[in-house]
Amino acid sequence: MEGSLITVTGGCHCQSVRFSLTTPSSISVYKCNCSICAMKQNHHFMIQKDQLTFTAGDLSSLTEYTFNTGVAKHLFCTKCGVCPFYSPRSNPDCWAVTVYCVDSWKSAFEKIEWVEFDGENWEKQYEVSDIKKHSK
């Protein structure tokens, strides 16, 4: 999805981690069903890493968890445990931002397209998905 660029803010539940980011006003939110995304209900959209700026806290305010291939870097607030964004296996040059961590997310975007991503069959889904388009 595209649209004009907008700046939105967001963060974790306890507000120890706050960010500002630039993104198109129309976004694709990926609803992944892999083991970790299903457990944490992670529905995310992609941005280039240089589009996110911390306004409170920094990467040291987050703890990292990896599993399986170790490529995805899941980041959680050290105080409240929320994952505001992470570095995904599909697009390691991007941040996958949890849409629910964007302030007023329901009204912040012009359009949200919800895209099912079959993370239980990750390799197969990656080949047929449009998720690669978000990387440079």
Nearest to 39, CA basis, from 121, 123, 128, 119: 119
Average pLDDT of the residues in 95-117: 96
75, 16 in Cβ contact below 8 A? no
Tell me: the pLDDT tens digits for 11-69? Answer: 999 999 999 999 999 999 999 998 999 999 989 999 999 999 999 999 999 999 999 99
Q: How many of the other CB atoms lie within 10 Å of CB of 4? A: 8
The model's pTM is 0.91
Chain centre distance of CA 93: 12
pLDDT at 1 over 70: no
pLDDT at 2 over 80: no
All structural domains of the chain, each given as residue ranges with its CATH number in brackets, are 5-130 (2.170.150.70)
Residue 3: how many CA atoms within 13 Å on its side-chain side?
17
Separation of alpha carbons 44 and 9, rounded Å: 15
* Residue 3 binned pLDDT confidence (cut-offs 50, 70, 90): confident
Separation of alpha carbons 74 and 6, rounded Å: 25
Question: What is the C-alpha radius of gyration for the chain, rounded to an integer number of angstroms?
Answer: 14
